[in-house]
Chains A and B, each alone.
Chain A
Amino acid sequence: MDDLDRRLINRLQHGLPLVREPWRQVAQELHSHPSEVLDRLHDLLEDGVLTRFGPMFDVERLGGAFTLAALAVPDARFDAVAEQLNALPQVAHNYRREHRWNMWFVLACGTEAELAATLSRIETLTGLAVLNLPKEQTYHVGLYFPV
């Protein structure tokens, strides 16, 4: 990664300008050329430094029902319960975290009814009480990792 790569990563995390010739504008800002910028972006994606380039949707604005929830899983059952949860298509993310509530997952459902059904399904499947923490207010969402 050289200086142009770094500046391009930082610039493109803020978003492509929604203008007729977006690559020309980005290239001008970076004192480069549109073809060079596209080549660099291609390589950064190929190389895995960037995981995706494109519109970042707030899918919650487009419909659906979501929540963050947690389970306190006894250590002996941890892997088995992880498998039970991960098999559910509604489980979008699942992380182990170091806490009494040690399994944290995001549920993404089509409707509120499906979300409620999935929560009780998880309690039935695992025999554990779910800590359900749906968001009430968003103060900030924006990953920015300067390099």
Chain B
Amino acid sequence: MSVCISRSDHHLALRLVALTQGGLPLLDDPWAWLAEQLGISVESTLDLLKHLQAEGAIRRVAAVPNHYRLGYRHNGMTVWDVADVQMPRLGELIGAQPFVSHCYRRPRRPDWPYNLFAMVHGRSREEIDSYREHLRFLLGDACRGDEMLVSSRILKKTGLRLTPAP
């Protein structure tokens, strides 16, 4: 829990998750519906949403496309062995590319040399290959090696759910 979210906002945020995990109802005034459910005013509801968005607890109130249906059938998890001192700058640069959906620094391990992860999506294998080439160009000499792991099967996909602490 972020230190910037107050205890009462955190409580309201958890209720918001429970209310909208399946989606926001398609109503003329969705905020009035939320306000009624939360037992607060419409003004307070909007303030809460803006605050949670500013703190990063809500990324946005948005539509999530089925990317397969939109033609984005190929994804690759590109992994890179990037010099530690250059990571802050290069991580931001790679994450800013429009075709990168997720970009993280993760630890190296004895049998895993890669510390930068960037997920790329495209409409063809050629498209994601070309994205990988572009990332390689951007990283230049700071990168000592890379691989792209393409997914061939979804084994399970339930999404991240909030699990109550035991």
Contact = CB atoms under 8 A, between A and B. Distances in A.
A144 B92 CA distance: 17
A90 B101 CA distance: 23
Interface residues of A, number: 78
A97 B150 contact: yes
A98 B149 contact: yes
In the A-B complex, the 9 residue pairs with the smallest Cβ-Cβ separation, listed nearest first, are: A140-B95, A15-B60, A139-B95, A12-B63, A54-B24, A94-B155, A137-B105, A94-B156, A96-B153
Most interface-central of A18, A56, A142 (chain B CB within 10 A): A18
A98 B163 contact: no
Contact of B151 (A12, A23, A97): A97
Contacts, number: 242
A12 B62 contact: yes
B37 to A, nearest CB: 13
B10 A136 contact: no
22 contacts: A13-B62, A15-B62, A16-B61, A20-B31, A50-B66, A52-B64, A55-B60, A58-B58, A59-B161, A61-B1, A61-B56, A61-B57, A92-B160, A108-B161, A108-B163, A114-B166, A137-B87, A138-B103, A139-B91, A139-B92, A144-B98, A147-B71
Interface in A54-93: 54-64, 66, 68, 82, 85-86, 89-93
Contacts of A41: 26, 63
Interface string A106-140: 10111100100000000000000001111111111
A53 B72 contact: no
A92 to B, nearest CB: 5
Contacts of B121: 143, 145
Most interface-central of A13, A38, A143 (chain B CB within 10 A): A143
Contacts of A51: 64-66
Interface residues of B, number: 79
A104 B156 contact: no
Interface of A: 9, 12-16, 18-23, 34-35, 38, 41-42, 44-45, 48-64, 66, 68, 82, 85-86, 89-99, 101, 103-106, 108-111, 114, 131-145, 147
